[in-house]
Amino acid sequence: MRSGFLKFAASAAAGAVLALGLGNAIAAETPKRGGTLKFVIPAEPPSYDGHRETTFALVHPIAPFYSLLIRPNPDNPSDSSDFTCDLCTEMPKSTDGGKKYTFKLKSGVTFHDGSPLTAADVKATYDKIIFPPADVSSARKAYFVMVDNVEAPDDLTVVFNLKYPSGAFIPALATPFNFIYQKAKLDQDMKWYEKNILGSGPFVFVEHQAGALFKGKRNDNFYVKGQPYLDGFEGIIAEKQSLRVQAIRGDRAAIEFRGFPPKSRDDLKAALGDDLTVQESDWNCVLIITPNHDVAPFNDVRARRALTLAVDRWGGSKYLSEIAIVKTVGGVAFPGHPLAATKAELEQIAGYWPDIAKSRAEAKKLLQEAGVDLSKTYVLNNRGVDQPYTIVGTWLIDQWKQVGLNFEQRVQPTGPFYDTLRSKRDFSVSLDFNCQSVVNPLLDISKFLSNDVSDSQYGGYIDRDVDDLFNKMNQEGDQAKQREYMRQFEKLTLDEHANNFITLWWYRIIPHRAYLKGWNISPSHYVNNDLANVWLDQ
Amino acid sequence: MYTYLVKRLLMVIPTLFGAAVLVFFLMRLIPGDICELKLAGSGAFFDQRSLDICRAELGLDDSALLQFGQWVGGWFVGDLGTSMWTGKPIGEEIALRFQVSLQIAVMATLFSIVLSIPMGVLSAVYRNTWIDYVVRSLSIAGIAMPSFWLGILIILGILLTTQAWTGSPWMPPIHYVPIWVNPAENLAMLIWPALATGYRYSAVATRMTRSAMLDVLREDYVRTARSKGVMERVIVNRHALKNAMLPVITVIGIEFAFLMGGLVVTEQVFNLNGIGKLFVGAVGQSDYTMVQALVMLVAFIFVMTNLLVDLLYAWLDPRIRYS
């Protein structure tokens, strides 16, 4: 036993040394200037306005044209609490008891049309996001409920005054969709940015061929000296996953920033060997089991608890991660985040017990007590997307069969799927989806609130206990207290009230051409896409 | 002839109007809301306010009849409307894709004609010989194999072969460049989908050519020509082939029109930014205005192609007269 431990310690130490050495070697590489990065994008954005849209298809080709006030650290994006300045000079400490944040801006920053970027532009941008006019849509207005107002006392100072201290503010500010727009354009037309691009980011917009391509060229006046390294980029729209995989194999593209399933990674690795680098990370996306609280039998908390108790998450993680883009067992908060549950804490929650036999026995007992008709076949509503919807759906049906529950999977295209969730509501259980950008558990969990509070909750329940905990958590400045509230929230949502349930957190796999350097994987396909520090070793 | 032409052109109007009514109201029966898709499709949160703004912007709050009237009214001033998904003029969106689809359709049609007519003739002339068996096997294989599947095989074949030969895999370009900008790049991309679709297309035309040729070769005038000692080559090329072309031209016309709007999966396999891909995308996104415009475009292409085929009949067969 002792010898085994020593061997483990020695190999761990050797591994750490190797990793450090490798890290230093990577850090020591000097970026080369030049070249055009080609990457594939699975979809096309509806408009160019980051404040309005929610899709990654906007971020991948358009983020390189814009600056942000702050962002996740591009050199360390996997740390979900490491934020750094983009346009500001240093990350501010809050004042006024956590209710005031003062940002100093870099001087000499210009938009691509040559006009200077000032605090007035930043204020106009955040006013549009936080307090949009009646006819202007802002997808992230709700992220800033804590903000009272935004001020620009001089050209290089922006002040955010909050109504109350909030741990959710800084991550919300770092959201990659918060592109800084030019005040003059917004004054002219609040919707100007839906059809036009004018930023201050590392690349200048060249062209967009609808359905085909986005092209950008280096911004020679970029405010980070020496960056960007690339001469330009081409984002090629390719909807079919198999084609995107082959495009990397055939070197028509160096990377796809969303993520591939394990099989594609393995195929590419087998074909390209050392010409391929693979980066992997937990992913801030998760499929949620959503029982319909309006209809029997899942309007009964016992029947709902049975649903989660039947699912072997710990076992499923091992096998599903080999075929699908899911892997990590977690609660409502992104795994690994300071607010997330530890394994020991998770094991106290129904559906996460280490002994699956005991869990399923309890599920059977609850089903019997609730009088659930086991001869009936219930409907699992699912979205017609393989990765990972239908794979996870098929797995769940098998899990529920273990306790005598029979489900049929009704797979629908995205349009009818949402129509079922929001209007028809003729399902027993549905899979639902929560996918956020910057890891911000305090807000990411708003999906679990009562449906008169959250328009994105499709279970149809009202749960004021959960709403109250959410509000307390978001108005609490102390992280230890936040964590305590988060555990209570999690226990209520997933176990005691059994409102809805987490399946497995997604797992992001990015195989890319080895000559692409400087890009680091993050827990979100929305984050770290401005390409300023990316270079080609060719 | 001119009276016939005018009558046929006038009949285009009720045909297209019927198609317009069908597509407009059928689209609205499909469950799904473009605003929900835009706002929730990526898993993000959204609120009722955003949904209401989106619906008002797209005019979805108006009655269906008003929307229909506005859409049809737009045709008379040359306004096809704007895409509900991108907010861009539909004419602009379609124009970009039309050139890709047109080039593929032309290339596939040429490939098909070059392949199918000689093969069909050979198969008929040498019927029940090994030549006939080979041609029939190839054509049945072409009909049985979906062109997108053949496309996938072609891409994989190219990747594997080039990797085996050169050590690094090569694949056709995945971004369209017009032929007048870079002919080599353009053909390197389009030749493969043209072959994949043209092969299937030629299989249908080959079988039709063979069947029509067999019928014609049994005609009295062919027997008479043979009895007069006319050379077999002359009989086949000059007397039989032209008369056998009527059904073949019908097939080629229909297939051409189909290619202009129907290369749905093949376009995705080769990442062609064509009409078919736009069509599927628009249906998936519940982009009503775009689907409506595309259906009208395809209907128009079909109607005009059929008219052209009918006019060709008269040229090929002097017995046909239009009045």
Q: Which residue in chain B is spatially nearest to A385 when comparing CA positions?
A: B41
Residues B233 and B303 in one domain: yes
Residues B171 and B293 in one domain: yes
**pLDDT band at residue A32, thresholds of 50, 70 and 90?**
very high
**pLDDT band at residue A14, thresholds of 50, 70 and 90?**
very low
- Whether omega before A153 lies within 30 degrees of 0, making that bond cis, reads no
From B10, B45, B79, the end of a domain falls on B79
Contact state of A424 with B31 under an 8 Å Cβ cutoff: yes
Distance CA B225, CA A66 (A): 78
In a domain, B254, yes or no: yes
Contact state of B45 with A456 under an 8 Å Cβ cutoff: yes
Residue B323 has what pLDDT?
Answer: 61
Q: Which residues of A touch B39 (CB under 8 A)?
A: 54, 139
Q: Which residue in chain A is spatially nearest to B37 when comparing CA positions?
A: A415
Q: Which residues of A touch B57 (CB under 8 A)?
A: 135
From B59, B79, B99, the end of a domain falls on B79
Q: Which residue in chain A is spatially nearest to B189 when comparing CA positions?
A: A252
Count of residues in chain A: 538
Q: Closest Cα partner for B152 from A241, A177, A224? A: A241
| Lowest mean pLDDT segment, chosen from A82-86, A350-354, B49-53, B140-144 | B49-53
Nearest to A46 among B85, B168, B173 (CB): B85
User: Shortest Cα distance from B170 to chain A (angstroms)?
Assistant: 5
Distance CA B257, CA B301 (A): 6
- Residue A280, classed as helix, strand or coil, is strand
Residue A18 has what pLDDT?
Answer: 39
Contact state of A271 with B169 under an 8 Å Cβ cutoff: yes
Residues B112 and B180 in one domain: yes
Residues B66 and B169 in one domain: no
In a domain, B117, yes or no: yes
User: Shortest Cα distance from B82 to chain A (angstroms)?
Assistant: 12
Residues B176 and B223 in one domain: yes
In a domain, B164, yes or no: yes
The two tokens of residue A192 are 């100007």
Q: Give the sign of the dihedral formed by CA B197, CA B199, CA B205, CA B208.
A: negative
Q: Are strands A535-536 and A516-517 parallel, antiparallel or unpaired?
A: antiparallel
Residue among A54, A272, A433, A503 with most chain B CBs within 10 A, to mutate:
A54
Residues B196 and B157 in one domain: yes
Residues B63 and B193 in one domain: no
User: Shortest Cα distance from B297 to chain A (angstroms)?
Assistant: 18
Tell me what the pLDDT averaged over chain A comes to: 92
In a domain, B298, yes or no: yes
Tens digit of each residue's pLDDT (9 = 90 or more) over B86-138: 888 999 999 889 999 999 999 999 999 999 999 999 999 999 999 999 999 99
In a domain, B39, yes or no: yes
Residues B192 and B273 in one domain: yes
Phi, psi of B215 (to 5 degrees): -65, -45
Whether A2 shows a pLDDT value over 70: the answer reads: no
> Domains in chain B: how many in total?
2
Residues B141 and B55 in one domain: no
B81 conformational bin, left if phi > 0, alpha if psi -120 to 50, beta if neither: left
Residue B314 has what pLDDT?
Answer: 77
Angle, alpha carbons B153-A385-A526 (nearest 5°)? 100
Label residues B257-278 b or e (16+ Cβ within 10 Å = b): bbbbbbbbbbbbbbbbbbbbbb
Within chain A, how many helices (H) and strands (E) appear? 17, 18
Residues B115 and B152 in one domain: yes
Mean pLDDT of B229-238: 90
For chain A, domains (ranges, CATH) are 36-254+515-536 (3.40.190.10), 282-507 (3.10.105.10)
User: Shortest Cα distance from A176 to chain B (angstroms)?
Assistant: 13
Tens digit of each residue's pLDDT (9 = 90 or more) over A248-297: 999 999 999 999 999 999 999 999 999 999 999 999 999 999 999 999 99
Nearest to B96 among A195, A209, A423 (CB): A209
Q: Which residues of A touch B99 (CB under 8 A)?
A: none
Whether A9 shows a pLDDT value over 70: the answer reads: no
In a domain, B26, yes or no: no
Distance CA A524, CA B60 (A): 33
Tens digit of each residue's pLDDT (9 = 90 or more) over A306-344: 999 999 999 999 999 999 999 999 999 999 999 999 999
- Residue A415, classed as helix, strand or coil, is helix
In a domain, B25, yes or no: no
Mean pLDDT of B23-51: 82
User: Shortest Cα distance from A439 to chain B (angstroms)?
Assistant: 13
Distance CA B157, CA B162 (A): 8
DSSP assignment letter at A93 = P
Residues B40 and B173 in one domain: no
Tens digit of each residue's pLDDT (9 = 90 or more) over B252-286: 888 888 888 768 888 888 999 999 999 988 988 88
Contact state of B42 with A54 under an 8 Å Cβ cutoff: yes
Q: Closest Cα partner for B279 from B53, B10, B85? A: B85
Q: Are strands A255-256 and A36-41 parallel, antiparallel or unpaired?
A: parallel
Residue B322 has what pLDDT?
Answer: 66
CATH of the domain at B228: 1.10.3720.10
Nearest to B41 among A40, A213, A414 (CB): A414
Q: Which residue in chain B is spatially nearest to A40 when comparing CA positions?
A: B174
Phi, psi of B111 (to 5 degrees): -60, -45
Residues B62 and B192 in one domain: no
Helix (H) or strand (E) holding B51, with range, is helix B48-58
In a domain, B323, yes or no: no
ipTM of the complex: 0.84
Contact state of B278 with A413 under an 8 Å Cβ cutoff: no
Q: Which residues of B touch A236 (CB under 8 A)?
A: 174-175, 271
Residue B43's domain comprises: 32-79
Tens digit of each residue's pLDDT (9 = 90 or more) over A129-188: 999 998 888 888 888 989 999 999 999 999 999 999 998 999 999 999 999 999 999 999
The two tokens of residue B118 are 């000689």
